[in-house]
A = this chain, B = another copy of it.
Amino acid sequence: MTSEVKEIFARERGPGGSASAPPAPAALAAKVRTLAPSMTRSMQRVAEAVANDPAGCAALTVTGLAELTGTSEATVVRTARLLGYPGYRDLRLALAGLAAQQQSGRAPAITTDIAVDDPIADVVAKLAYDEQQTLADTAAGLDTVQLGAAVTALASAGRTDVYGVGASGLVAQDLTQKLLRIGLIAHAHSDPHLAVTNAVQLRPGDVAIAITHSGSTGDVIEPLRVAFERGATTVAITGRPDSPVTQYADHVLTTSTARESELRPAAMSSRTGQLLVVDCLFVGVAQRTYESAAPALSASYEALAHRHRAGRKGP
């Protein structure tokens, strides 16, 4: 087969081309090795460059790659053809894909703990990975029966009190904000005295929710106990299903406990799981009370839109 015929052959075979390869996606390095023997010297140089550094070559134009390998544009195109692509443009596209795959393949190596000297990019990756893990674990471990029962109780509650201190206090406030938006009567308490004072007012049909990762936070257990004894429906959101707080909880919702360390305090990962549970409660309640929740949601949206527009009038 003469060179010219080969070129013509390569050029002319369309989508249904007779020969072997579909524009190879990832098996490029292998293809290079396979075809290398049948390549001319210049083409080998190009193929080698491509196989060694897909990402780098993807960033180059024909001219650039030709210069890099000390060859010409024509040779680069010929090589691309030999590798099974219609032209250099397509080879370049495939190269970009390959580079991206290699990139993402390297990702799950971030299982180690965060170190003091980790570069900031690693910190981001590790934290994101960890929180994703926490979400997955929490979702998998959540008892949907308990969750459903809690939702039912909330949906028909006369009033709802939520207890939490420290980081969990913020989660408590988050839940409260959401419930208020769909027209429920809810309060968050992080002051233990006021919490107890209010808990005394609860009656059967009302709901009390305690949020504590350790399950051993006295300031949160105490108001829940009072609510429990007053006959309210009580819910505990905790990472320790065997902890003291569950004594007074009709329904226990468990969050996953992720690894923690010096630079990654418990508060950080527990919060992620707690928030997922809180979101589930909210959506569940919104579903059950959709008739009244939908207008309430729209109304609060409208009210806020006005405040946002105000912000636009910059200098």
Residues on A close to B: CB < 8 A? 25-26, 58, 92-94, 96-101, 103-105, 114, 116-118, 120-121, 123-125, 127-128, 131-132, 135-136, 138-139, 142, 144, 147-148, 151, 166-167, 170, 173-174, 177-178, 181, 214-221, 225, 244-245, 247, 262-265, 267-268, 271-272, 275-276, 279-280, 282-284, 286-287, 290, 294, 297, 301, 304, 307-315
Contacts and interface: CB of A to CB of B under 8 A. Distances in A.
25 contacts: A26-B100, A58-B93, A96-B100, A97-B103, A100-B101, A124-B142, A124-B276, A124-B280, A127-B280, A128-B276, A167-B174, A170-B174, A174-B271, A178-B267, A218-B307, A218-B308, A218-B311, A219-B307, A219-B311, A225-B314, A247-B315, A262-B294, A263-B283, A265-B301, A272-B275
A287 B93 contact: no
Interface centre among A116, A131, A267, A286 (most CB of B within 10 A): A131
Nearest to A59: B93
Given A99-B97, A308-B217, A170 B167 contact: no
Contacts of A173: 170
A29 to B, nearest CB: 14
Contact of A276 (B120, B127, B177, B247): B127
Contacts of A307: 217-219
Contacts of A120: 144, 147-148, 151, 280, 284
A118 to B, nearest CB: 7
Contacts of A98: 100
A114 B284 CA distance: 10
Contacts of A117: 287
Contacts of A286: 263
A165 B263 CA distance: 28
B136 A132 contact: yes
Nearest to A150: B120
Contact of A279 (B127, B244, B279, B313): B127
A213 to B, nearest CB: 10
A189 B201 CA distance: 31
A131 B123 CA distance: 19
A33 B98 CA distance: 26
Q: Nearest 5 pairs between A and B by C-beta?
A: A97-B100, A218-B311, A128-B139, A216-B311, A93-B96
Given A124-B147, A170-B170, A173-B170, A114 B283 contact: yes
Contacts of A214: 308, 311
Contacts of A127: 139, 276, 279-280, 283
